[in-house]
Structures are given as C-alpha cells and as structure tokens.
Chain A
Amino acid sequence: MKRDWLPLLLIPALMIGALPLIGSPASWVTLTVAGLAMGLMIFIMASGLTLTFGLMDVLNFGHGAFIAVGAFVAASVMLALAPWMTADSIWLNLAAIGPAVLAAMVVSGVLGLGFERIIVRPVYGQHLKQILVTTGGLIVAEQLLKVIWGPDQITLSRPTALRGAFLFGDVAIEKYRVLAVVVGLVVFAALALTLNRTRLGLLIRAGVENGEMVEALGYRIRRLFVGVFVVGSALAGLGGAMWGLYQETVTAAIGAQVAVLVFIVIIIGGLGSVGGCFVGALLVGLTANYIGFLAPKVALGSNILLMAMVLLWRPQGLYPVAKR
C-alpha cells in the first residue's frame, strides 16, 4: 500500500533544520523535547475534535470548555490531595495524579455528553448555528467556571517526582515533559490501534468519509458520533489537566487559549484525520519552541504562519480525508 510519507518527513526536517540555527546541541535537545511534549499535549486535546468534525461535520467551538473543566477538576483534586503531591514518595504522587486525571476525564466526558445533547444535536448540518451556539456554550462554561472556582487563577505545583530535570551532560530535560511525551504517545497508539485494528475503528473511519453510506449499510452513525464526542471530550479533559500542570496555573480562559492551537492543529492535519492531527500537533509544538528561542518577538504568530504555509502546499491539510 502506497503511503504518503512527505508530511511525516516534515518533522525530522524541521528538527534537523533547527539544529544549526540554534547552535548549541544541548539547547536543541531541550527545545525538541519541549516541543514534542507540547505537541503531544495538544494532540491529546485535538484528536477528539477532529474526529467529531469528520464524522458529523460538527464545528465545535466549545471544545475548549472540556479542556478548561478538565484542568479545574484536576486542580481541585490535586489541591485536595496536596500532602500526597508534595510527599517524597513517587507512589503517593501517582496516587494524587491518578484520581485527578481520572476525575478530569470523567467530568469532561459527562459534560461532553450533555453538551452534545443540548447544544450540538439541535444544529446538526447547520454550520453557522454550530459556530454560534458552541461559542456561546464556551462563554457560558467559562463564566460558570468563575462562579464555581472563583475569578482568580489557581496555582498548581507539580508533584515532587515530576519537578526538576534529567541531566545528561549539558542537556537538561524536564521530567514532566518526558511524562507528557509518554502519555501522548500512549494515547496516539491507543487511538491508532482502535482505528486501524478494530471494527469500531473501521466504522469510525468509514463514517468520517461518508456517514450517509455507513447508515445505508445498517449502522447508526449518530450513536457512534455521541460515543466519539464523549471520548473526545474526556481526552480534552485529560489534555486540560496535563496543560494545567505544564503551565502550573489554571484560569477560566485556559480552554479558549489552548483551543486556538487545537484548531490550528486540526486544520494543518486535515479535518477528520487523526494521523494528520498527530503530525500537525508535533509541527506546532516544535515550531512554537524553536521560534520562541530563535525569535521570541514572532513566536506568537509562528503557528499561524506554519498553518498558512501548510495550506498553501496542501489546501485540505497534510492528510486530507476523502470525503464524499
């Protein structure tokens, strides 16, 4: 089977191209790991959104709400378990992080279920209304977060075991970023296995291409969509929890802020494509870190520039989905 390797090759090309510009190999390794960690966290948050768009053409501008809720729920649990977070035992640290992440995913998933029923379902097939009501949903969610958790930002400290860095000579790699890379790769592997090795995945891939024909084969695509929406929301919650720990602060605007990167990633990747989302996320993470080091003044615009360049090359994104 002929595969399209070109977009994938952009990642090593970007890494290799950045090395002479950065100069110091130690700095380059640190920035590369930081970029991969950032990219994989964005991928976790974006993967569900790209699938829900692919399956039902739903433009959910409220996706950031699940990210923010995940971050707040995880922060609350971690603050409640503060003694375990600051303990010297890695097991106690994990005993605090585990329930926090689980709670973030469950609450975001349940919120996603309600969001789909109340806000998204009435506007299936109506893109303008989808943009309006889901953006409204995000605004309402942000205000509710302020009502529940207060308007001030919450400061989070990483657990003892995840503070500091691994040192290899001159190279310093933050422990938390290594964890983010591992979790991101595990999520990607789980999604790839589900999509490529299971009947459910086959249905999702077919549904992304042509939901109407999947229905004509006797499958209820809306149930599938609700399932994917809930899983995507739960993953956004996981990503929000991880992003909160990455930034070490949580504010009500966290969802809207990260959602910009999430949308850039799914557009770069090709709407509906999980593989494209993965490559797009890594490109965005690496670009943000390299440009942030090389030319901090243009760092903010670097991802928009990246998106523009990709779309000039491939207007449908890196891995366009064959839509009916």
Chain B
Amino acid sequence: MAEPLLSLRGVQTNIGRYHILHGVEFDVAEGGLTMLLGRNGAGKTTTLRTIMGMWRAAAGEIRFDGRDITHLATPDIARLGIAYVPESMAIFADLTVQENLVLAARSGPPDQKRLDWIFARFEALKRFWTLPAGHLSGGQKQMLAVARAIIEPRRLLLIDEPTKGLAPAIIANMIDAFRELKDGESTLLVVEQNFAFARQLGDTVAVMDDGRVAHQGSMAAFAADSALQQHLLGLGMDTHQ
C-alpha cells in the first residue's frame, strides 16, 4: 500500500490549560479527498491548525510526504505545498481581491489561465477584482479564501468548513472546483458540517469525537451506515442535510 501523503500519529494538542487533542491518528491518501467530520468541539479545527503548526503538537508525530513536519514553523509547512483555508476565512479585508490573490501567489504574478479557471467558478471575484475584500459578502469572502488557497498548485489543501453560510449555487461551484482539484493536482482534507456536501465529495472519512479519531474508512461505507452516523455525529447532523 502506498504511503499516505499526510499521516498523524498520537497527536496531542493543548490550548492554554485545555487539552484538546488526545492522540489523533489518521491518514490522508494522495490524490483523494478526505472529509474530517465530527460534532462541534470534537477537535477538527484544532487538528487542521496543528497540522499547519499554528498550534504546536505537545506529543505525537505529523508526517507529510514522508517527512516529519511536527516541529516545523508555519511558513515552512506552507512552503512544502500545503494551503490552509480557515473557518474564519481570514481574508485581508483592507486589501483588494486582486491584492489578496497576488499575495497568495508566492512564486510570482498569478497565472492568467489559472485565474480564468478560478473566475469561471467564482465569477464574483472577477467582478469585484479591485474592491477591498472587506466589502464582499460572506459567500464572496469564502470564495476568495478558497481561491487564495488554489491560486497556485498546492499538494495538500486543508479547508475548514468551506460551505458555511453559502448559497446552494455557490456550493455547487465549489463541489466542481474541489472535484477538479482532486482529479488533477491536489489532495484535500476538508472539515465539514454539511453531510450532504461531505457525502458527495469525500472519498474517505475520518470522524472525530472528543479529541480523537473515532472512525476512519471509506465515505461510501460510512454514508451507508446510518447507525454509525447517528452514533458518531448525532442528531445535529440531520439539520445540515
């Protein structure tokens, strides 16, 4: 079996006095889309931030492409080809849409073909190209946050709740974009509350509960097992379907 692109073993993270991750273990296979699911407070966002080095793992090991990245600084992790879209979107509100994307393109001016591909999916970004990003609507900000992560090819995309607050039409565009990305150049690890979205896109799933991964397997098998969904995700998930 091929070595996973990303693997976490026994990862523990503390935030202040609080012990959030209690030995997280899962793999992300190269070229696929892994959904990281779980109830609110299960530790999904903390897991992504720990992978990015924004919060330090107190114990355990994170390997990317065979390399131990547990103790690397965030910029060094990003330079390995990992992009992160936080739940808060963290767009630069005082910078224009153009400036947000220019900044994200580390290797030089954004490639026009790549930009056209992004504009085809997120048309609003072209329309508001010179507008400060702070003036965009919530959905448009989410588009910009995702576009910033994919403005250049990245090996691994870590995306935290990309559909939060989005209109169905935009979610459909996002599904198309993620499908094309995983079929092409990238591997994706996506945190999601919207199970309908997760089921459509995910190849594999890892479900977190109380700071641990309680289940990992194929999305198809998980989607077919309503008892397991009920047990791990609870009734709250129904409200998002």
Q: Residues of A with Cβ closer than 8 Å to B?
A: 1-2, 199, 202-203, 205-206, 209-210, 212-221, 321-322, 324
Contact = CB atoms under 8 A, between A and B. Distances in A.
Contacts of A205: 92, 94-95, 99
A217 B134 CA distance: 19
A2 to B, nearest CB: 8
A212 B91 CA distance: 11
A37 B93 CA distance: 33
A220 B90 CA distance: 17
A215 B78 contact: yes
Nearest to A3: B132
Given A1-B130, A202-B103, A213 B75 contact: no
Contacts of B75: 215, 218-221
Given A206-B92, A322-B134, 12 more contacts: A1-B96, A2-B135, A202-B95, A209-B94, A215-B74, A216-B84, A216-B90, A218-B75, A218-B78, A220-B75, A221-B75, A322-B92
A1 B94 CA distance: 11
Given A203-B103, A205-B95, A216 B134 contact: no
A163 B115 CA distance: 59
A324 B88 CA distance: 9
Interface string B142-154: 0000001000000
Given A1-B132, A216-B54, A217-B104, A202 B93 contact: no
B92 A213 contact: yes
7 contacts: A199-B103, A205-B92, A205-B95, A210-B90, A213-B90, A215-B73, A215-B78
Interface residues of B, number: 27
A305 B92 CA distance: 33
A206 B74 contact: no
A321 B94 contact: yes
B102 interface: yes
A270 to B, nearest CB: 11
A215 B104 CA distance: 11
Interface string B45-64: 00000001010000000000
Contacts of B102: 199, 202
Contacts of B90: 210, 212-213, 216, 324
Interface in B71-85: 73-75, 78-79, 84
Give 5 nearest A-B pairs by CB, closest first.
A218-B78, A322-B93, A213-B90, A215-B74, A206-B92
Contact of B79 (A2, A210, A213, A218): A218
A36 B86 CA distance: 44
Contacts of B78: 215-218
Contacts of A322: 92-94, 134
A216 B130 contact: no
A57 to B, nearest CB: 16
Nearest to B93: A322
B106 interface: yes
A99 to B, nearest CB: 39
Nearest to B131: A1
A221 B130 CA distance: 25
A206 B79 contact: no
A322 B133 CA distance: 11
Interface in B103-135: 103-104, 106, 130-132, 134-135
Nearest to B79: A218
A216 B134 CA distance: 19
Given A1-B131, A217-B106, A209 B74 contact: no
Contacts of B131: 1
A205 B103 CA distance: 11
Contacts of B99: 202, 205-206
Contacts of B52: 216
